[in-house]
Amino acid sequence: MARVTSNSPLLVVRPLQYRDLDDLKQWQPEDLESGDDSLSSAQVVSWLAFQRRWYAPLKLLNWLPRPGAPGPLIFVAEREGCLVGLIQVAPFNRTRTTWQVEQVVVNRALAAKLMITGYMDIGSRLLRHCFEAVWEARTWMLEVDIEHKTALALYRFNGFQPLAQMTYWSLLPAQIATLAQREPDLPNLLPVSNADAQLLYQLSTASMPPLVRQVFDHQIQDFRVSLINTASATVDRLVNQVETVSAYVFEQQRKAAIGHFELTISRDGRQPHKADLTVHPAYTWLYPELIIQMAKILQPFPAQPLQLTSLDYQPEREECLTQMQAVPESHTLLMSRSVWHKVREAKPLSLEGLQLSDVLTGLQPASKPLPGRMTWSSESGPASPSRPLKGLRTSALKSAHGQDKP
């Protein structure tokens, strides 16, 4: 494993500033190494150009309250006046208890020029800075392609553990047309509104294992759509020709939601359709019915593949997609890391060197003890070990009965 010089004072990590965008725009795509294969170098460069053009308006928007759309944070790594890497993180839920590492990008050419080991050193320094700077985060999570061995080594080195394995499936237009010929058996299929946030929260809670549920830490407000999100969806529909359809299946006897889908439709056919599917573990027969319903919705729109995801704790969904002849396109690993185990660094102490007063600090006296008042017997003569106790007991009894005279 590569040696990580994360404590080197020469490598400084700080928030992104306006003057940094001109330097980042000079990065060449072939020199960049990203922590996620799905984010190509060309996309990173174009993203930086967009930030350079709209930096001032976006900076002003950061001062406005955004309860529904918390923005990401960007940090850069600098050494000797040259930017060698950047990291982008964002909150995963509304309560901001779980944060997600969205991308880690390192300029390999500049790192080699400044004699830095490379991706492991700079990436570790960026990650550890985020762990310390984002005080709200109790848990960190990320998604990385299983074929990206360098990124996996970086995240494992910094304490990330596998949480679940995700598979991205694609339904071809021919399969979608075949499925649309059937009629789905979906009683009580209702559109989603903010009044149904409680039902969707209960469905999401029941559909995942306890460990995943603890990492996601979703609350009811995560399933409500704010005015800002509604306005953003309207702009997205008008500009990018993208429309979103969402519905859920209501179980009348239990008064609960047992299935939910959110379908993102490409109206102009320039990109594939995407779907987010959630089914209660006790109603796995809803998987094919909901997919058929989405296939019927897609019929009036251009023929494009439908992309869905499944996790390794959803074997019924993978079996259903396999029967429908869906094609698995990629496999990613969902990883998480808790920050509760962080301990202040100090020199190691052995148990043999610990004193009892160091362990039981609560038993130490607050001040020097003062002698109390005690009455001794007035009998003369040589004192024996038992006589003071006898005189003390006799005096105490006399005082209790009021027979003690001055």
Domain ranges of the chain: 12-159, 166-338
Angle at 63 between CA 62 and CA 66, to 5 degrees: 65
Same fold for the domain at 12-159 and the one at 166-338?
yes
> Could you tell me whether strands 327-338 and 139-145 are parallel, antiparallel, or unpaired per DSSP bridges?
antiparallel
Judged against a pLDDT cut of 50, whether residue 379 lies above it is answered with no
> Could you tell me whether strands 98-107 and 12-15 are parallel, antiparallel, or unpaired per DSSP bridges?
unpaired
Q: Which of 48, 190, 189 is nearest to 107 (CA)?
A: 48
pLDDT in tens, 308-318: 999 999 999 99
Choose between 61 and 134: higher pLDDT. 134
pLDDT in tens, 275-333: 999 999 999 999 999 999 999 999 999 899 999 999 999 999 999 999 999 999 999 99
Q: Residue 97's CB: how many other CB atoms inside 10 A?
A: 16
Please tell us whether the domain made up of 12-159 is placed in CATH 3.40.630.30.
yes
Structure tokens belonging to residue 287: 């998987």
Q: What is the mean pLDDT of the chain?
A: 79
pTM for this prediction: 0.75
Judged against a pLDDT cut of 50, whether residue 183 lies above it is answered with yes
Angle at 46 between CA 43 and CA 49, to 5 degrees: 155
Which backbone phi and psi does 393 adopt, to 5 degrees? -65, -40
Q: Residue 223: pLDDT band by 50, 70, 90 thresholds?
A: very high
Query: CA of 11: how far to CAs of 53, 79, 115, 150, in Å?
Result: 28, 5, 12, 21
Cβ neighbours of residue 179 closer than 8 Å, sequence gap 6 or more:
171, 291, 292, 295, 324
Q: Which of 86, 82, 85 is nearest to 74 (CA)?
A: 86
Orientation angle between helical segments 286-297 and 315-323, nearest 10 degrees: 50
Orientation angle between helical segments 119-133 and 149-157, nearest 10 degrees: 40
Choose between 273 and 59: higher pLDDT. 273
Cβ neighbours of residue 290 closer than 8 Å, sequence gap 6 or more:
184, 186, 249, 259, 261, 277, 279
The rounded distance, in Å, linking the Cα atoms of 143 and 335 is 6
pLDDT in tens, 120-138: 888 999 999 999 999 889 9
Identify the weakest region by mean pLDDT among 41-50, 114-123, 131-140, 154-163.
41-50
Cβ neighbours of residue 393 closer than 8 Å, sequence gap 6 or more:
none
The rounded distance, in Å, linking the Cα atoms of 332 and 2 is 24
Q: Look up residue 344 and give its amino acid.
A: R
Helix (H) or strand (E) holding 33: strand 32-34
Identify the weakest region by mean pLDDT among 39-43, 201-205, 334-338.
39-43
Q: Confirm if 153 and 120 have CB atoms less than 8 A apart.
A: yes
Q: Which of 289, 326, 29 is nearest to 182 (CA)?
A: 289
Structure tokens belonging to residue 205: 């809670």
Choose between 168 and 85: higher pLDDT. 168
Q: What is the pLDDT of residue 84?
A: 86
First to last CA, the chain: 86
Q: What is the pLDDT of residue 129?
A: 94
Choose between 209 and 109: higher pLDDT. 209
Q: What is the pLDDT of residue 52?
A: 55
| Homologous superfamily of 166-338 | Gcn5-related N-acetyltransferase (GNAT) (3.40.630.30)
